[in-house]
Structure 1
Amino acid sequence: MGGTVLVTGSSGFIGYHLCARLLADGFTVVGIDNLSDYYDVSLKERRQAMLLQSPGFTVVNDSIEAPGRIMALFEAHKPDYVIHLAAQAGVRYSIENPRSYLESNITGTFEILEAARAHPPKHMLLASTSSAFGANTEMPYRETDKADHQMSFYAATKKAMENMAHSYAHLFDLPVTMFRFFTVYGPWGRPDMALFKFTRAILNGDPIDVYNHGDMKRDFTYVEDLVQAIRLLMDAVPERPEDGVVPEGDSLSPVAPHRVVNIGNSEPVQLTDYIAAIEAATGLEAAQNLMPMQAGDVPATWADTALLQRLTGYRPQTDVKDGVAAFVDWYRDYYGLV
Structure 2
Amino acid sequence: MRVLVTGAAGFIGFHVSRHLLARGNTVLGIDSLNDYYDIALKQARLAELGKLGGRFAFKQVDFSNHVALEAALDGEDFDRIVHLGAQAGVRYSIENPRAYLQANLAGHLNMIEIGRNRRVEHLVYASSSSVYGGNDALPFRVEDRVDHPLSLYAATKKADELMSETYAHLYRIPQTGLRFFTVYGPWGRPDMAMWLFTKAIFDGQPIKVFGEGRMRRDFTYIDDIVAGVVACLDNPPADDGVVKAGGSISPHRIYNIGNNRSEDLGEMIALIEQACGRPAERRMLPMQPGDVRDTFADIGAIQRDLGYEPRTSIVDGVPLFVNWYREYHGLATRSW
Q: Aligning the two structures, in what range does the TM-score lie when normalised by the shorter sequence?
A: over 0.9
2:46 alignment partner in structure 1? 48
Q: TM-score, normalized by length of structure 2?
A: 0.96
Say whether 1:129 aligns with 2:124: no
Check whether the contact 2:143–2:247 (CA below 8 A) recurs between aligned residues. Answer: no
Cα separation, 2, equivalents of 1:225 and 1:69? 33
SS at match of 2:3: strand
Cα separation, 1, equivalents of 2:147 and 2:3? 32
Question: What is the deviation of 1:272?
Answer: 0.4
Check whether the contact 1:218–1:271 (CA below 8 A) recurs between aligned residues. Answer: yes
Check whether the contact 1:70–1:115 (CA below 8 A) recurs between aligned residues. Answer: no
Correspondence list, 1:9-48, <5 A: 9-48=7-46
Q: Determine which of 248, 260, 273 is the counterpart of 1:253.
A: 248
Cα separation, 1, equivalents of 2:2 and 2:227? 18
1:332 alignment partner in structure 2? 326
Query: What are structure 2's unaligned runs of at least 5 residues?
Result: none
Counterpart amino acid of residue 251 in structure 1: G
Cα separation, 2, equivalents of 1:133 and 1:298? 9
Counterpart amino acid of residue 88 in structure 1: Q
Check whether the contact 2:150–2:291 (CA below 8 A) recurs between aligned residues. Answer: yes
Correspondence list, 1:1-338, <5 A: 3-53=1-51, 54-242=53-241, 245-246=242-243, 250-254=245-249, 256-338=250-332
Cα separation, 2, equivalents of 1:235 and 1:227? 12
Q: TM-score, normalized by length of structure 1?
A: 0.96
Check whether the contact 2:135–2:146 (CA below 8 A) recurs between aligned residues. Answer: yes
Question: What is the deviation of 1:313?
Answer: 1.1
Counterpart amino acid of residue 272 in structure 1: G
Deviates more, 1:106-115 or 1:258-267: 106-115
Question: What is the deviation of 1:68?
Answer: 2.5
SS at match of 1:68: helix
Question: What is the deviation of 1:43?
Answer: 0.3
Cα separation, 1, equivalents of 2:234 and 2:135? 30
Cα separation, 2, equivalents of 1:38 and 1:260? 28
Cα separation, 1, equivalents of 2:72 and 2:296? 37
The superposition leaves residues 249-296 of structure 1 with CA deviations (integer Å, 9 ceiling, x where unpaired) of x32412x10100000000000000000010111111010000000000
Question: What is the deviation of 1:137?
Answer: 1.0
Instruction: Count how many residue pairs are aligned between Structure 1 and Structure 2.
Output: 331
Deviates more, 1:288-297 or 1:108-117: 108-117
SS at match of 2:75: helix
